[in-house]
Every structure is written in C-alpha cells, then in structure tokens.
Amino acid sequence: MNTKARVFSQKNKSNRLWLVFFIMLVLLLIGWYLSLRLGAVNYSHDQLLATLKHPFQDSNTQDVIIDLRLPRILAASLVGAAMAQAGAIMQGITRNPIADPGLLGINAGAGLALILAYAFFGSLHYSLILLVCLIGSTLAAVLIFGLSYQPRKGYHQLRLILAGAMIATLFSALGQAVTLYFDLSTTVIGWQAGGLAQLNWNMLAVIAPIILIGLALSQLFAHQLTILSLDETVAKALGQATLTITMLLLGIVLLLSAASVALIGSIAFVGLIIPHFIGLFVAKDYRLLLPLTAFAGATFMIWVDLISRTINPPAETPINAIISIIGLPCFLWLIRKGKNL
C-alpha cells in the first residue's frame, strides 16, 4: 500500500469513528429526552422544560421527573457503560470473543452472595449490597480462572468457558435452593429479572462513584489491554508483566460487574453484544474501543429501560426479557457473519 492510499485509509477510519460517535450521541440524547417524558405518566415538552428549569419546586411533576426518572436514567447509563466495558475487557483478557462477566459466572457469584446475605441478614444497606456482590464476584472469578489457568500456556479458552458455565450453573442452582428454603422469592425476583424501578438518589450516590472509578481505570490500562489481547507470548516479548496486568484488569471487571449487579440486578448479553457491535467499526485498539463501547452500552441501556417502562404501562416489563429478545438474534447474526468468532 503506497503512502497516499494509507493516508486515505486512515482518514476513512477516522471519519467512521466520528460518525459512530455522532450517531451514538444523538441516540443517547433522544433516549434521555424520551425517558424523562414517557412512562406510566407522560409529560409534555413544556412540562419537562419547566421542571428542569425549576427542579426544586414541590410538585408531582418534580417528584416523578427529578426524584424518580432522572436517577434512573443516570443509573441505566452507568450500568450500560460498565457492563459493556467489562465485557470488552474480559474478551481482551481471555482473547475469547464470547467471554463476558455473565457467561463466565461472575454475575452468578454476585447473585449467590446477595441471596445468602438476604437469607441471613435480611435487608441490607446499599453499601453492604455492593460489598456482598463484590465478594461473590471475586469468589466466582477465582474459581473460574483457577480452573482454567495453566502456568505455561496461560488461559485455555475452552476450559475457561467450561469452567464459567459450570460455576454459573452451580451458583445459580445454589441460589435457587437458598431462595426456596428461606422463602425469598418475592425478595429476589426483581433482582433476577433486572430493573431500575426501586432506584433512588441515595443508591446512586453510593454506587455510581465505584462505576466511574472502574471506567476511569479501564481507560488508564487500555493500552496494556491492547498488548495483552494480542498473544501471551507476544505480550511477554514486549516486556509486559502479563499476570500482573491480567489481575489488575480482572479487578476492574469485578468492580464494574459487582457495582452493576448491586444497582440493577443480573443482566445478560450486554457485555457480549455491545463490544462486538463496536468492533465492527473500530480496530482492535482498546484506547478507542473501550470508550466507544461504554458509550454504546449506555445508549443501549437507556433505550432498553425506556421500552421496559412504555411497552405496557403502568406495569414494567423485565429488562432481562427485552435484552434477551434483542441480544439473541444479534448473537446469532454475529455467529453467521463470523466476525472474530
């Protein structure tokens, strides 16, 4: 390829990145706007503007838009960004295109820990929920990576997936058994279906900083993740301490996953589908891939939450059901296309 063709190719890639970013930004802003207006109760454009201009007036409109919908929208954005970015990091660490925290049992570990905490301690403060989810996620990750790691060869992809499926199934079965024995069905059913109906500013104040820290740390180690994702031997030849970087990145995944589970419950497919979608437009450079993945994840969750609230008002459709309906066809399409699979 001559110099002129190379410059033209780089310019096309840059234009494509800006186009993807612009489309995501427009969709995110539209999603935010519609999410503030629509729901069990719909508000006009003028009512929304009046409430946002005077947010601290005591009125029913203010109670719904400022106290209920705004923290919910922020939470959906943060969770979408966190789960999508966690999935991208997992795929980079394992060099496995179908890896994500849900498929590798990390979410199941957080869920089991949360169910056990409800069984033995009853109601929990938001900070304790986050701590419990973090402990459960860490336990699951240690078991899965311990079963799949080989000192000389690193992570064997097939063993990693099998270990993740085994641990996820085991923890899910244990969680169901504890739920039945302690009669916790009504307590955990909302968490299992996923949703933001009970979210408030207090929960967001505790958990949002953790997600923001995780997102910032992800970007800090993005270049190291790019090197690690190439090959274990290549990364070591370039002087990278692969085990140390892997543990640091895995810690970030645990932080993002545990905070997301504590905030919204168990959600599947987001960390699997979104990184692949962005990968269609962006080269495998995690300095670009991670922020765009987070941005797309936030946009996706905003629209999923909006659909869950408006498809059958005033009842809310479980978020997991909507994501599965969207995610499964996307996953099948990715398999047929053969993109990195």
Domain extent listing, the chain = 28-33+59-337
Rounded Cα–Cα distance for residues 159 and 218 (Å): 26
Q: Number of helices (H) and strands (E) in the chain: give both, helices first.
A: 15, 2
* Res. 217: pLDDT tops 60: yes
Tokens of 16: 């494509």
Per-residue DSSP letters for 193-247?
H---TT--HHHHHHHHHHHHHHHHHHHHTHHHHHHHHH-HHHHHHTT--HHHHHH
CB 270 within 8 A of CB 84: yes
Closest C-alpha to 164, from 70, 95, 100, 214: 100
Could you tell me the pLDDT band of residue 270, with boundaries at 50, 70 and 90?
A: confident
- Fold type of domain 28-33+59-337: ABC transporter involved in vitamin B12 uptake, BtuC (1.10.3470)
Lowest mean pLDDT among 65-69, 299-303, 336-340: 336-340
Helix, strand or coil, per DSSP, at residue 4: helix
- Beta-ladder partners of 123: none
Could you tell me the pLDDT band of residue 153, with boundaries at 50, 70 and 90?
A: low
Global pTM value: 0.87
The pLDDT value recorded for residue 2 is: 54
Instruction: Tabulate helix, strand, coil % of the chain (nearest 5).
Output: 75, 0, 20
Question: Across the chain, what does the average pLDDT equal?
Answer: 83
Tokens 């938001």, residue located:
126
Could you tell me the pLDDT band of residue 7, with boundaries at 50, 70 and 90?
A: very low
Model pLDDT for residues 62-105, shown as the tens digit of each residue:
888 998 899 999 999 999 999 999 999 988 888 877 777 876 67
Alpha-carbon torsion, ordered 64, 67, 70, 72, to 10 deg: -100
Rounded Cα–Cα distance for residues 47 and 58 (Å): 14
Cα-based distances in Å from 201 to 21, 70, 272: 29, 9, 29
Model pLDDT for residues 163-182, shown as the tens digit of each residue:
888 888 898 889 889 888 88
